[in-house]
Chains A and B, each alone.
Chain A
Amino acid sequence: MVLVGAVRDYLNRMLNDIPGMKVLILDAQTVGIVSVAMSQSELLQKEVFLVEKVDAQAKEAMGHLKAVTFLRPTVENIQHLKRHLNSARFGEYHLFFSNIIKKSYIQILADSDEHDLVQQVQEFYADYFAIDPFHFTLDLHANHVSMLPTVVDPHNSQLACDRMLDAIAAVFLSLKKRPVIRYERSSEIARRVAQDAARLMYEQEPGLFDFRRTEVAPLLLVVDRRDDPVTPLLNQWTYQAMVHELLGIQDNRVDLTKLPKVPKDLQEVVLSSQQDAFFKSNMYENFGDLGANIKKLVDEFQLKAKSNQNIQSLEDMVKFVENYPEYRKQHGNVSKHVTMMTELSRIVDERQLMAISQIEQELACNANQAVAFEAVLNLLNNEKSADIDRVRLVMLYALRFERESPQSVEQLISRLGAKTSKHKAGLVKTLLKQAGFDKRTGDLFGNRDLFIKALNMARGLKGVENVYTQHQPLLAQTIESIVRGRLRDIDYPFVGNHFQQGRPQDVVIFMVGGTTYEEARTVHLVNATQTGTRIFLGGTIVQNSASFLNDLEEMQRVQRVERGSFAASM
């Protein structure tokens, strides 16, 4: 519970030291940060009886409540706080900021505090969404910005970079570590974020980051999503990743309102490894095992329900009343997972995802060009297949055979254009331009290095256990190199003159452009087996194929507008 635990510790410290009835004031981002770490009933136990957004319209004064604000240190929030202090709505104000606050902001606040309401001003560095113990995200709004060159949209690009920097700084402050920093050579934005982080940690705030040194310094590695465009395009078959791919998870919440035939109390459900023991033990299981486990869960529950049904003696009644809350809780949980499972298998059937996924995995791992071409073409011509599946398959094919057989790629793209739309076909080209062979640093398909090529051949001969989960994200390779201390300096250069030898104990890998749950699973597996190295994974958002395509589309649109205005100004 490392990252989740850190956020919870911050919140506990914030709320436990202030006695009496409290109101918690949050902004749009911190609402999410707090929500993924703590539940409403836990807040109630800490005598927080009202939670409010900082920009909510002021209602009547409530002097009997103490306000605890937990906000990001932004200009807007400072303005809102100023308004709060002027109106003196609550009896006391305890100000907590999720990151380093500028001196000038403190001055503004001190100036507005005419009624002496502010009791304390603190920096509590919980500035990231700790969705799982080793996985954090930022829920960045305009995520496509990270794919654009800085000049296109300098304002938004700066905002995005600042947000990433804030989160990275907060993670290291929560861990009480100062890292050496490396970045992926071929990504402009990764270099920028890495350099910003180095400047902050070593030049601007050296005192704040001055923690007890470990023998081998921890590592911050900034990489770019575009270095592995394959992982977000694949269908997933492990529970958490699959739910995100097919239904979508937002801050550990799943919205089921759009689906037909979902009971009313299950229109929105929570999937949190922290609160749901069944989910925790099954989130990385594959679909088949998951089905068996859910069946076991249902059987267990039925047994309990039966024993609750035959109430004959007073004794039985007493027992029933005693077990009732537990029973009700379990009932909710069982029906939640069963609903999920039925929905997932319905979608899998409907879109024939088994067959599609097999081709995808072949393309991603070890494909024969002629066979793959045939398979993709068949699927394109199949009237039943969905547009999104067509686009993804052509993209995967294009990424794989971009250099080996460019004319077959062209052929497929034009076929895709005929089947769906020109616009969709254009996306494939955009992807190649953004994340093609020349733009990548890592050895995505394992065909750059002779040694790895041989290794892959050997693996191919051995056969795979599960056709649908044979793909390993590029991240797995990167982590292996880090753990062995063999990450190449040329591909992943250091920032400044802080170098590192040996294997680091704590590694934070930050993915500009978003992570995937498949990668989170990889990290989980490494952390579970490896002794001595803890890996943390973070990204701007958590991607699935839909959001990845959406980002590409958005980026294409912005670039077109930019080019248009450029042409007009000529």
Chain B
Amino acid sequence: MATRNQTALFRKYREALRSVRPHVTTSSGAHGGAIELVEAPLLNRGGPRGYNAIGGEDLDAGHHSVGSSTMNLPPGWVDISDQVSADMQQARSKMAELAKAHSRALMPSFDDTSKEERTIELLSQQVTKLLKKCEQKLQQLSRPTGPSEQDANIRKNVQRSLATDLQTLSMDFRKQQKGYLNRLQRQQEGQAVDDGIGLKKQSRTSEDDDFSQSFSNQHLAQLRQNEALSVEREKEINQIVESVNDLAQIMKDLSVLVIDQGTIVDRIDYNITNVATSVEQGVKELVKAEETQKRGGMVTCILVLIVLCAAMLIIYVLKKIIGL
């Protein structure tokens, strides 16, 4: 894994040549324009070139005002892709929060857990929404905006890479949800068994002791409370199932975009040659289309003219006849 860095040497040569070049141009005298050309990009050298995710707009505006490098302005879809990555980042942090909330909710406690549950509900809804939003934006990316083949190609690749990320993210989220669901169900079952035993005991005691009316009343109240709790839980489970289903839909849409790894489509050389042939194909098709279009236009033009000629002739003849 040896490497050799020749950048220093390159810079040295470049500097040396730069110190030489102005002499050459001044001596020849006629290359005033050339100097400008060389220097104009030098002005821009201050900031980092290329697209900068955060300060990008200001930077590009600056470039724009200088007017020398409008080419540095990234196309509009870059904003979308940045938004998607930002949203995914947000979803990721929300998921971390959610994981914490899950483990807190599953801890046995005597406090009121409804607050926890509400946060969980809220968080999982937010994550689902974020993922859905990402997915919709991804679909936007493929909308043709630029005329160029290459730009479309890049856009497709960006879309693919984001889709792969999104797929793993939503997969993680689903696993998380499912894990919580399973544990919740298990806990509930356990509780049900506990309750059952409690009830049996209770009935036996009520048979045995007639005077424990007030006691069993108390139990009844507890029972009702338990019931309410289980209804609550059920609702929760349903919600989670719903969000899992939503995610399943996202997965289905994404799987179209994600490349199957290890297949020929995943080969770099295959993609290059494919692009080349598809470009060739495109050019051929375009030429053909142009030809047919031209021919079609010409033919209709001729037809229209002939019809017009005939009509005029008839009108002329009629006029003559009427005139006579």
29 contacting pairs across A/B (C-beta < 8 A)? A13-B3, A20-B51, A21-B154, A35-B268, A39-B266, A39-B268, A40-B267, A44-B160, A45-B161, A45-B164, A50-B150, A53-B272, A56-B276, A60-B150, A88-B71, A107-B13, A110-B14, A110-B17, A116-B41, A116-B42, A121-B10, A122-B6, A123-B4, A124-B3, A176-B2, A321-B252, A329-B262, A332-B260, A332-B262
Q: Are A63 and B71 in contact (CB under 8 A)?
A: yes
Q: Does A270 touch B at the CB level, under 8 Å?
A: yes
Of the residues B11, B16, B50, B268, contact of A91 by C-beta under 8 Å: B50
Q: Are B2 and A40 in contact (CB under 8 A)?
A: no
Q: Are A173 and B2 in contact (CB under 8 A)?
A: yes
Known: A59-B150, A118-B14, A275-B266. 19 other contacts (CB 8 A): A9-B1, A10-B1, A20-B52, A21-B78, A21-B158, A39-B261, A40-B267, A40-B271, A44-B164, A49-B157, A64-B74, A65-B154, A109-B10, A121-B10, A125-B3, A174-B1, A275-B262, A322-B175, A322-B178
Q: Are B244 and A318 in contact (CB under 8 A)?
A: yes
In the bound complex, CA of A49 to CA of B78 (Å): 12
In the bound complex, CA of A49 to CA of B178 (Å): 34
Q: Are B270 and A268 in contact (CB under 8 A)?
A: yes
Summed over the interface, the residue pairs from A and B with CB atoms below 8 Å come to a total of: 205
The interface residues of chain A lying within 8 Å CB-to-CB of B158 are 21, 49
In the bound complex, CA of A115 to CA of B49 (Å): 12
Q: Does B255 touch A at the CB level, under 8 Å?
A: yes
Q: Does A159 touch B at the CB level, under 8 Å?
A: no
The interface residues of chain B lying within 8 Å CB-to-CB of A538 are none
In the bound complex, CA of A275 to CA of B38 (Å): 48
In the bound complex, CA of A114 to CA of B167 (Å): 44
Closest Cβ neighbor of B168 among chain A residues: A325
Q: Interface residues of A, CB < 8 Å — how many?
A: 81
State the Cβ distance, B231 to closest chain A Cβ, in Å: 19
In the bound complex, CA of A125 to CA of B3 (Å): 7
Q: Are B161 and A35 in contact (CB under 8 A)?
A: no
The interface of chain A, by Cβ under 8 A from chain B, is 6, 9-10, 13, 20-21, 23, 26, 31-32, 34-35, 38-41, 43-45, 47, 49-53, 56, 59-66, 88, 91-92, 100-101, 103, 106-107, 109-111, 113-116, 118-125, 173-174, 176, 208, 211, 251, 253, 268-270, 272, 275-276, 314, 317-318, 321-322, 324-325, 328-329, 332-333
Q: Are A116 and B45 in contact (CB under 8 A)?
A: yes
The interface residues of chain B lying within 8 Å CB-to-CB of A329 are 260-262
Closest Cβ neighbor of A111 among chain B residues: B17
Closest Cβ neighbor of A172 among chain B residues: B2
Q: Are A275 and B2 in contact (CB under 8 A)?
A: no
The interface residues of chain A lying within 8 Å CB-to-CB of B13 are 106-107, 110-111
The interface residues of chain B lying within 8 Å CB-to-CB of A23 are 154
Interface members, chain B 248-282 (any A CB < 8 Å) = 248, 251-252, 255, 258-272, 276
Closest Cβ neighbor of A32 among chain B residues: B269
The interface residues of chain A lying within 8 Å CB-to-CB of B19 are none
Q: Are B272 and A51 in contact (CB under 8 A)?
A: yes
Q: Which of A45, A60, A173, A317 is packed against the most chain B CB atoms within 10 Å?
A: A60
Q: Are A64 and B148 in contact (CB under 8 A)?
A: no
Q: Does B5 touch A at the CB level, under 8 Å?
A: yes
State the Cβ distance, B10 to closest chain A Cβ, in Å: 4
In the bound complex, CA of A47 to CA of B4 (Å): 25
The interface residues of chain B lying within 8 Å CB-to-CB of A321 are 174, 248, 251-252
With A64-B74, A318-B178 already in contact, the answer to whether A49 and B10 are too (CB < 8 A) is no
Q: Does B199 touch A at the CB level, under 8 Å?
A: no
Of the residues B51, B149, B167, B269, contact of A31 by C-beta under 8 Å: B269
In the bound complex, CA of A41 to CA of B154 (Å): 13
The interface residues of chain B lying within 8 Å CB-to-CB of A32 are 269
Of the residues A50, A51, A106, A317, contact of B248 by C-beta under 8 Å: A317
State the main secondary structure of chain A at its contact with B: mixed
Q: Does B9 touch A at the CB level, under 8 Å?
A: yes
Q: Are B262 and A253 in contact (CB under 8 A)?
A: no
Query: What are the 9 closest A-B residue pairs judged by CB atoms, nearest first?
Result: A64-B74, A110-B13, A44-B161, A63-B72, A63-B71, A275-B262, A61-B71, A35-B269, A49-B157
Q: Are B265 and A40 in contact (CB under 8 A)?
A: yes
State the Cβ distance, B285 to closest chain A Cβ, in Å: 18
Closest Cβ neighbor of A24 among chain B residues: B268
Q: Are B266 and A64 in contact (CB under 8 A)?
A: no
Q: Which of B38, B49, B73, B74 is packed against the most chain A CB atoms within 10 Å?
A: B49
Closest Cβ neighbor of A270 among chain B residues: B264
Of the residues B75, B161, B167, B260, contact of A49 by C-beta under 8 Å: B161
Closest Cβ neighbor of B167 among chain A residues: A325
State the Cβ distance, B17 to closest chain A Cβ, in Å: 5
In the bound complex, CA of A34 to CA of B268 (Å): 8
Q: Are B157 and A50 in contact (CB under 8 A)?
A: yes
In the bound complex, CA of A118 to CA of B251 (Å): 42
Of the residues B14, B50, B244, contact of A92 by C-beta under 8 Å: B50
Q: Are B154 and A110 in contact (CB under 8 A)?
A: no
In the bound complex, CA of A65 to CA of B265 (Å): 24
Q: Are A6 and B150 in contact (CB under 8 A)?
A: no
In the bound complex, CA of A208 to CA of B149 (Å): 43
Q: Are B6 and A275 in contact (CB under 8 A)?
A: no
Closest Cβ neighbor of B4 among chain A residues: A123
Q: Are A59 and B5 in contact (CB under 8 A)?
A: no
In the bound complex, CA of A328 to CA of B263 (Å): 12
In the bound complex, CA of A101 to CA of B51 (Å): 31
In the bound complex, CA of A270 to CA of B52 (Å): 37
The interface residues of chain A lying within 8 Å CB-to-CB of B178 are 318, 322
Q: Are A50 and B264 in contact (CB under 8 A)?
A: no
In the bound complex, CA of A174 to CA of B171 (Å): 38
Interface string of B66-107 (1 = CB under 8 A from A): 000101111100100000000000000000000000000000
In the bound complex, CA of A123 to CA of B7 (Å): 10
The interface residues of chain B lying within 8 Å CB-to-CB of A333 are 262
State the Cβ distance, A369 to closest chain B Cβ, in Å: 48
Interface string of B174-212 (1 = CB under 8 A from A): 110010000000000000000000000000000000000
Q: Does B153 touch A at the CB level, under 8 Å?
A: yes
State the Cβ distance, A490 to closest chain B Cβ, in Å: 34
Of the residues A51, A122, A325, contact of B255 by C-beta under 8 Å: A325
In the bound complex, CA of A40 to CA of B265 (Å): 8
Q: Are A91 and B248 in contact (CB under 8 A)?
A: no
Q: Are A20 and B268 in contact (CB under 8 A)?
A: no
Q: Are A38 and B241 in contact (CB under 8 A)?
A: no
The interface residues of chain A lying within 8 Å CB-to-CB of B248 are 317-318, 321
In the bound complex, CA of A261 to CA of B12 (Å): 61
With A63-B73, A123-B3 already in contact, the answer to whether A39 and B49 are too (CB < 8 A) is no
In the bound complex, CA of A91 to CA of B10 (Å): 18
The interface residues of chain B lying within 8 Å CB-to-CB of A40 are 259, 265-268, 271
The interface residues of chain B lying within 8 Å CB-to-CB of A116 are 14, 41-42, 45
With A49-B158, A208-B2 already in contact, the answer to whether A251 and B51 are too (CB < 8 A) is no
The interface residues of chain A lying within 8 Å CB-to-CB of B167 are 325
With A66-B50, A122-B6, A321-B248 already in contact, the answer to whether A41 and B266 are too (CB < 8 A) is yes
